[in-house]
Amino acid sequence: MPQILKVDSNIEAVSVHARKVLLQGGVIAFPTDTFYGLGVDPFNRDAVDRIFEIKGREKNKPLFLLISSREQLETLVKEITAAHSTLMQEFWPGPLTMLFESRSVIPKNVSPGLIGIRQPGNAMTRDLISALGQPITAPSANLTGENPPTTAKQVDQSIGRHLDLILDGGTCPGGEPSTLVDATEIPVRLIRPGAIPFSDIEVALSGSKEPSHPKVLG
């Protein structure tokens, strides 16, 4: 049975324990903007493999990463295009996942090509990631084919026996998933519809004063 910790005002103490579990290759469940997600250290290949095993997830289905800041993002990706910058300013933190060209630090079993990254709108989730000091994976904390869980109890009933830690942050609101776009090239392409209408994204880009060249990171 997993340990279940209430996420209250003492987020730092909870995060210290969660970080210890993650760095030991453990799998945690935690609240996000919509549902509970499964978190592992994305730089630990074995831990990443555990997510696919627990969920019964197809190996060719990539995982997305959650980050707490732009500085964290810059350690993961090769470049930030003008479109990325515009959409980050307009919609982050929030339910927009964008594809980036990943650095070699990201294992291929996380994503073999472009990597989807999001800064979540849930302040508690961002505080957790910030305290962990690194990005975290976040597929829904359920078996593939089941409804995504909105409470820690639902997580425990579904896959709790396979987890090392569940962070109980109350009831998540549910709703649509994050909108997923590819902003590595122009025009920006909608990959998966979600909480942010693509028409809003097009409006934000059409009014952008950003330069056309990308920011290439060293």
Q: What is the pLDDT of residues 68-108, one digit of tens each?
A: 999 999 999 999 999 999 999 999 999 999 999 999 999 99
pTM: 0.89
Q: What is the CATH number of the domain that holds 154?
A: 3.90.870.10
pLDDT of residue 210: 47
Encode pLDDT of 188-202 as tens digits: 999 999 999 999 999
Note whether residue 218 is domain-resident. no
Q: Dump pLDDT digits (tens) for 1-41.
A: 789 999 876 778 888 899 999 999 999 999 999 999 999 99
- Token look-up 């305290």 returns 131
Q: Is the pLDDT of residue 61 over 70?
A: yes
Instruction: Report the distance separating Cα 40 and Cα 65, nearest Å.
Output: 10
213 located within any domain: no
Domain count within the chain:
1
Distance CA 93, CA 201 (A): 14
Q: Is 105 exposed, middle or buried (0-12, 13-18, 19+ CB in 10 A)?
A: exposed
> To the nearest whole percent, how much of the chain has pLDDT over 90?
79
Distance CA 182, CA 200 (A): 15
Asked if residue 214 is part of any domain, the answer here is no
Q: Is position 16 within any domain?
A: yes
Please give the mean pLDDT across all residues of the chain. 91
Neighbours of 23 (CB within 10 A): 14
Positive or negative torsion for Cα 117, 119, 122, 126? positive
User: For position 200, what pLDDT does the model report?
Assistant: 97
The whole domain housing 44 covers 3-207
Q: Is residue 182 part of a domain?
A: yes
Asked if residue 217 is part of any domain, the answer here is no
Domain assignment of residue 146, yes or no: yes
Q: Please indicate, yes or no, if residue 174 is contained in any of the structural domains.
A: yes
The band of 147, judged by pLDDT with boundaries at 50, 70 and 90, is: very high
